[in-house]
Amino acid sequence: MPLIEDCHVISGQAHLPARINELLESAPITRAVVLRERLNVEFPVLSDRLSRLYGGNKNFSDWLNQLVIQSLHLALARPDDLWALDTQRASQPNWHLQGSLGYCAYTDKFAGNLSGVRQRISHLQELGVTYLHLLPFLKPGTPPNDGGFAVASYDEVDPALGNNQDLQTLTKELRAAGISLCSDFVLNHVSHEHKWALKARAGDAHYQSYFHWAKTSEEVAEQEKSLIQIFPNTAPGNFTFIPEVKAWAWTTFYPYQWDLNYTQPDVFAEMSQSLLQLANLGVEAFRLDSTGFLWKRAGTNCMNQPEVHWILQALRCITNIAAPGVLLKAEAIMPTQDLPPYFGLGDTKGAECHVAYHSSLMSASWVALAEENTQIIQDVLSHTPALPDGCAWMTYVRCHDDIGWNVLRPEMDARGADQRARLLHASQFFAGKVSGSYAQGAAFQASDPTVVHGNNGMAAALVGLTSAQTPAEQAAAKSRLVMMQALSLFVGGLPLIYMGDEWGQGNTSAQEIAQRQGPDGRELHRPMFDEHGFANRHDASKIQGQIYAALRAFIQAKKQNSSLSATHPLSVFNTGTSTVLGLKRGGNVLGLFNFSGQPQTLSPKPAITQNCMTNGTDLISGKAIDLQGLQLAPYSAIWLKK
């Protein structure tokens, strides 16, 4: 491994290159002192990770120094309020775990544009939201653009949604309301209309080096052997022929999304600086999109390569230097066992992303609902490690993507060779193709009914709310929805609610889908926010009001009881029946989740009475509850505190 000659640490002080010292000496003293402290910690690590990636390149030291200098300029340009926030957060590593609640929405569908989002702040506050993930709002390529995930400029807001000033105004107002804005940061690929792609297409060798190319169809075929298909129906294959270049660009997702080549150091430098610029506009969290795919290695599936983690750790160092109040969230939709490295392992523990999606728990919850059996959730949770300080799982019931079933393959395979059929059953169940199913979702990327991939649909449609014909069916659907959310809230460090799920919004109408450009099955759960349904959220006689009130009760309970915080360890306990999931948080809180459509009576076995509590207070109703003989209503969730 190459060494950095001009950086070593002597008694906690990093010896900084002369150019960096000069910059700090000319900077305002208060900031210079703090930046020097941060560099003492971060520069050695940053140098190490980047030298692993790029140390073999000539001029590496100059390149590294330049990167740090640019980052320091951005740190010096950081607005005072954000600088103050950085300082405050640096002293509280778990700041994002205290009563946090996420909300995720498309700007246009939720509120028209960025200014419109400001009109929704009071709603978000009422719900208890502390973190708002607005789906891609940077300038995208011409549609179809994968819902904005094909970015044409990382430095400009999508003109259809506003401008950079609107973004800054919004982040300020959100911050004043106690809400951090999260932006997608699409690291893995850019739109084919991004200036780098246009220059590459026009023959510029430097910008061609920003992408991965296969020169022959044989090379493509060879690579494909070990790669997976993300969109097997709508975008089969991982390469797209670009006639002007006479080569195939690597396009893991859609053909108009060109994968970036992170062996090229300038890609890392440019992306990291764009991230810091957005942070200076007040973006407080970044959802690092498709992180698992950042590094390609021939003969592998090109997912989760060690270099991915060096890239992310280097990015974390850079944010720790220039914007340490910023939170990094890994979007790595991978089986549970592949996720711990995204938080950092061994001596890098806690030094990578602050948050990662727990997609296996999400998918497992849906399987459990279809099966009325919680075994798969128990399996997933038993593979879920405790996290380092300052790290959290993002839990969720639904998001803008499909429910992917393949993340559960390891758990299924561990149970037996025939168990994957359960994923197919779940997929068919939520597509409404199984007798007795109440769901109105659809299969995703699987034209062959025997192949399982993902399912689409809003939560309300999947739990049977939109198919309910009778008050009893409606009540059952409501209970399913609230129980699923209560589970996500119980487990999550940062639970996330998808737009409209707080009051039970249904699927996008067929008419609306037909008007959208670029058919993608995920449009089913990307409806325009329905003002009519939303207006009923405070009306207890309406189903929307009932869902909203029930969900808010769990949210409030979580906020008011610090013993429910994800900083306390989580464990699974045996309730004596696999239809009821039993979770214990710390020493004095229990969560019981009845996934069955039948009432369940608990007759605690020794496992419960010895390891947990025999009674407690229901955190929602405030009533005293004895676990012995407790009857759980169908699809109910109970949180108990000793």
Residue 255 beta carbon to ligand GLC: minimum distance, rounded to whole angstroms: 12
* Active-site residue set: 289, 331
Residue 498 beta carbon to ligand GLC: minimum distance, rounded to whole angstroms: 12
Cβ neighbours of 66 (radius 10 Å):
13
The CA-based dihedral angle spanning residues 357, 358, 360, 362, taken in that order and rounded to the nearest 10 degrees: -90
What's the burial of 606, exposed, middle or buried (CB within 10 Å: 0-12/13-18/19+)? exposed
The set of residues, in sequence order, having a beta carbon less than 8 Å from that of 314 and lying 6+ positions away, is 46, 49, 50, 53, 268, 272
Which residue in this structure is represented by tokens 């464990």?
Answer: 571
Q: Which of 42, 146, 379, 501 binds ligand GLC (CB under 6 A)?
A: 146
Residue 289 beta carbon to ligand GLC: minimum distance, rounded to whole angstroms: 5
Q: Are 24 and 36 in contact (CB under 8 A)?
A: yes
DSSP string, 299-331: TS--SS-HHHHHHHHHHHHHHHHH-TT-EEEE-
In this chain, which stretch among 144-152, 548-556, 572-580, 613-621 interacts with ligand GLC, using CB under 6 A? 144-152
Nearer to ligand GLC among residue 186 and residue 397 (C-beta) = 186
Q: Pattern of binders to ligand GLC over 395-414, x per CB under 6 A?
A: -----xx-------------
The CA-based dihedral angle spanning residues 397, 558, 473, 110, taken in that order and rounded to the nearest 10 degrees: -50
Cβ neighbours of 270 (radius 10 Å):
17
Q: Which of 54, 106, 149, 310 binds ligand GLC (CB under 6 A)?
A: 149
In this chain, which stretch among 108-116, 143-151, 456-464, 630-638 interacts with ligand GLC, using CB under 6 A? 143-151
Q: Pattern of binders to ligand GLC over 152-191, x per CB under 6 A?
A: ----------------------------------x-----
CA distance 341 to 601: 40
Residue 477 beta carbon to ligand GLC: minimum distance, rounded to whole angstroms: 26
Which residue in this structure is represented by tokens 């940053």?
Answer: 46
Nearer to ligand GLC among residue 287 and residue 422 (C-beta) = 287
Residue 200 beta carbon to ligand GLC: minimum distance, rounded to whole angstroms: 19
Q: Are 496 and 574 in contact (CB under 8 A)?
A: no
Q: Are 595 and 579 in contact (CB under 8 A)?
A: yes
Nearer to ligand GLC among residue 36 and residue 453 (C-beta) = 453
Residue 461 beta carbon to ligand GLC: minimum distance, rounded to whole angstroms: 19
Q: Is there binding between residue 523 and ligand GLC (CB under 6 A)?
A: no
Q: Is there binding between residue 342 and ligand GLC (CB under 6 A)?
A: no
Nearest residue relative to ligand GLC (C-beta): 149
Half-sphere CA count of 544, side-chain side, radius 13 A: 15
Find the radius of gyration of the CA atoms of the chain.
25
Closest Cα partner for 490 from 556, 572, 566?
566
In this chain, which stretch among 116-124, 142-150, 259-267, 438-446 interacts with ligand GLC, using CB under 6 A? 142-150
Residue 135 beta carbon to ligand GLC: minimum distance, rounded to whole angstroms: 8
DSSP string, 103-153: EEE-HHHHHSSHHHHHHTHHHHHHHT--EEEE---EEEPSSPSGGGTSEEE
Q: Pattern of binders to ligand GLC over 251-270, x per CB under 6 A?
A: --x-----------------
Q: Pattern of binders to ligand GLC over 95-134, x per CB under 6 A?
A: ----------------------------------------
Which residues 274-313 are close enough to bind ligand GLC by CB under 6 A? 289-290
Contacts with ligand GLC, residue ranges (CB under 6 A): 146-147, 149, 186, 253, 289-290, 331, 400-401
